A and B are shown apart, each in its own frame.
Chain A
C-alpha cells in the first residue's frame, strides 16, 4: 500500500468516525421518529454538501488557476443569495405567502446561481479569459450584494430575520423529501466534472498548452461553470451559504496527495469536504450543550486557521 492510499484510507476512517458521531450523539433509538425525520436528513445534507462543494471548489480553482477561487468569487453564491433574498424579502406578505417555502428557497438559490453563470457565459463570449471571469464575478458579487442590502433595508423585521437565519447556514432545514433533489442535482454536476478530469489536468498549465493537447478550452470552461453552478446553487439554496469548504478541501487534498492530477485529487478532496462539513455540523450541535451554533461560523472557525496554516507553509 502506498503512502497516499494509506492517507486516503485514514481520511475515510476519520470521515466514518465523525459521521457516526454526528449520527449517534444524543440519539436514543435508531427507529425513533426524530432520528429518521431530523437526524438522517441533517447528516446526509452535511455529507452531500461536503462532497459537492469540495469538488466544486477544486474545479473552480482549476478554472481560474487561482487557489482562492470558489463559489463566492465566481458570483454563484451572491447570485443564489440575491434570488433567495428576493423571495424572502420582496414577496408581498412575507414568508407566509412564499410558495412552498423550503423548496422555493432552494429553487430560488439554484436559479440565482445559474442566472449569474449565464451572465458570466455571455461576458465570456464577448471577452474571453480567466481574468474576465474573475473580475466580472467579483463585480457581480458587489452588485448583487448591494441589491440584497437594499432589500434588507426595506423589508420587515421578521423577513430580515428569516433571511439572516438562512444566511447563517444550517443542515437542519433539509428534509427527507428534499434529499432526492439535492442528491440528483449534485450527482449530475459531479458526473459532469468527473468526465472533465483529464481535460482539467491539461488546462491547468495554460490555455495554449490545453489547446495543443486538443482541449476545447471554451467548452471546458462552459462545462465547469454549469456543473459548479448546479452544485453550489442547489446546496446554497437548501443549506444556505456554507463557506470555506470549497476553498480549503482541495488544498488539504493537494497537501496529502502532493499532486495536481485531478483523478488523484478527486477522492481525497471529497473526503476532506465531507470531514469538514460533518465535523462542523457535529460541533455546531454538540460543542456547547443546549446551544446550536451557526454551521457557517463553525466552518469558518475550522477553515480559516487551516488556510492560514497553508499560507504559513508557503503552499499557496
Chain B
C-alpha cells in the first residue's frame, strides 16, 4: 500500500511535465510559421500537407499554450490532432461572427447563448433551430455540450478556474481551442483572429482578404484623421455601477481607438491594457468638462443615464448632446453588435468615432453610423 502511495507523486510529476508549457522544441522541425501582423496570441504554420495553429500563452507570449494539427499525418508530437472540424461549438457570439464573415457559419452546431448573437445568417440558423444554446445567462451546461458531439469547441477563459474547467472538458475527447482575442491590445489584433479561424477551417485566402480589407480601411482612416485633425476633443466612456466607474486603461484597444479617431482620451496616460477602477467623484473632477461621452452602459436615452445616478446630468457632454452609445444594432433579447460584429470590423468603429468627434472630416461627412447612435 505504501508503495502505491509512493507512486502517486511520481505520476503527478509526470502529468505536470506532460501538461507543461509547450515550446517550439517539442514540435517537429521544418514547420514554416507565419506570425500575424497585429495579434500577439497566435501563429499558424504548415509542413508539406499538414497545418498547425499555435495559441500563445496570454501571460507569457514566448510560450505556446496549445498547438493544433490537422492534415495527412495521424499525429505530431506536442500537438492536438484535429480529426474533423465540421461540427463546431462556438462559445461566444464573436467567434460565430468570425465564422459568418468567412461563410462558415453552417459549421456551428451550438453556442453559449443564442440570445446574444446579432449576425444575420447566424440568427437565421438560430431561428430555425440549426444552432442551439447550451447555456443560459452565465451557466454553461457542459454535459449538454458533450451530448452535441462537436468536433471542436472554440472557447475563451477569464481565469485559471475557467481554463481548468475547459481542460477537464477535453477528457470527453473533444478538443477545445482557446480564442483569447479579447486580450489583444490593438483593435486590429482582436479582428485578426479571423485569420486563425480561416486557417483552421480551410479558408485562409478568404479570411486574409477580409482582414486585409478591414486593415487597409482602418489604416487609411487613421492616416486621414491624423492629417486633417488639428484640435482633439476630450473623451471619456462607460457608466458607473453603484458609484464605481471602470474605465479602459491607456494601453487598451479602446484607448487606441480613441487616439486613432483623433480624440484626447482623458485616461490615456494610465498604464496597462485592462481597466482602471475609479469612483464617481474622481471621474467627475476629470471629465466634467469633457466634450464626448462614449458607451454609457446599456442606456439609449439621457433619462436612463440620470436614473442610474442623477449627478451624471452635471457632465458637460450630456448637457451638450455629446453622448453616443454603440446600441444601434441590437436585438430584443439583449444582443448587441458591439460584442460581435464590431470586434471584426474595427474600421467601421473607427469611422463611427471619427464621425462623432470630427463631423466635418472628409472621411466622416458622408458616413452614416454603423454601431453608434446619439443618446438623446
Contacts and interface: CB of A to CB of B under 8 A. Distances in A.
A84 B61 CA distance: 42
Interface in B278-310: 278-282, 284-285, 288, 297-300, 304, 307-310
A160 B298 CA distance: 13
Which of A38, A100, A240, A285 counts the most chain B CB atoms within 10 A?
Answer: A38
Interface stretch (A122-130, A151-159, A228-236): A151-159
Q: Tell me what chain A mostly uses at the interface: helix, strand, loop, or mixed.
A: helix
B308 A177 contact: no
A96 interface: yes
A94 B311 CA distance: 21
A98 to B, nearest CB: 7
A34 interface: yes
A94 B243 CA distance: 18
A214 interface: no
A184 interface: no
B7 interface: no
Contact of B241 (A98, A161, A171, A285): A161
Contact of A38 (B137, B270, B280, B298): B280
A292 B136 contact: no
Given A172-B280, A173-B309, A156 B137 contact: yes
Given A98-B307, A153-B137, A173-B309, A168 B314 contact: no
Interface string A267-308: 000000000000000000100001110100000000000000
A154 B113 CA distance: 11
B309 A153 contact: no
Nearest to B135: A153
B276 interface: yes
Nearest to B301: A96
Nearest to B306: A101
A161 B158 CA distance: 15
A94 B314 CA distance: 24
A275 B362 CA distance: 59
Contact of B242 (A153, A172, A177): A172
Interface string B123-163: 00000000000001111000000000000000000000000
Contacts of A156: 137, 334
Given A34-B284, A34-B285, A292 B242 contact: no
| Chain B interface main SS type | mixed
Nearest to A94: B298
Interface range, B side:
20 to 34
A102 B308 contact: yes
Contact of B279 (A95, A155, A292): A292
B277 interface: yes
Contacts of A154: 136-137
B139 A153 contact: yes
B300 A96 contact: yes
Contact of B277 (A161, A240, A292): A292
Contacts of A165: 241-242, 244
Contact of A102 (B281, B297, B309): B309
Interface in A186-203: none
A66 interface: no
Nearest to B136: A154
Contacts of B307: 98, 100-102
Interface in B296-339: 297-300, 304, 307-311, 314, 334
Interface size band for A:
35 or more
Nearest to A174: B243
A170 interface: yes
Contacts of A177: 310
B300 A38 contact: no
Contacts of B334: 94, 156
A198 to B, nearest CB: 39
B316 to A, nearest CB: 12
Contacts of B280: 38, 172-173
A37 B311 contact: yes
Contacts of B282: 292
Nearest to A38: B281
A210 B299 CA distance: 56
Contact of B278 (A33, A152, A153, A292): A292
A158 B297 contact: yes
A240 to B, nearest CB: 6
Interface in B249-278: 270, 276-278
Contacts of B279: 170, 172, 285, 292
Interface in B16-61: none
A91 to B, nearest CB: 12
A175 B277 contact: no
Interface string A133-177: 000000000000000000011111110111001101011111101
Interface of A: 33-34, 37-39, 42, 94-96, 98, 100-102, 152-158, 160-162, 165-166, 168, 170-175, 177, 240, 285, 290-292, 294
Top 10 A-B residue pairs of the complex, sorted by shortest distance between their CB atoms = A172-B243, A173-B243, A38-B281, A165-B241, A101-B307, A165-B242, A292-B279, A170-B243, A153-B139, A154-B137
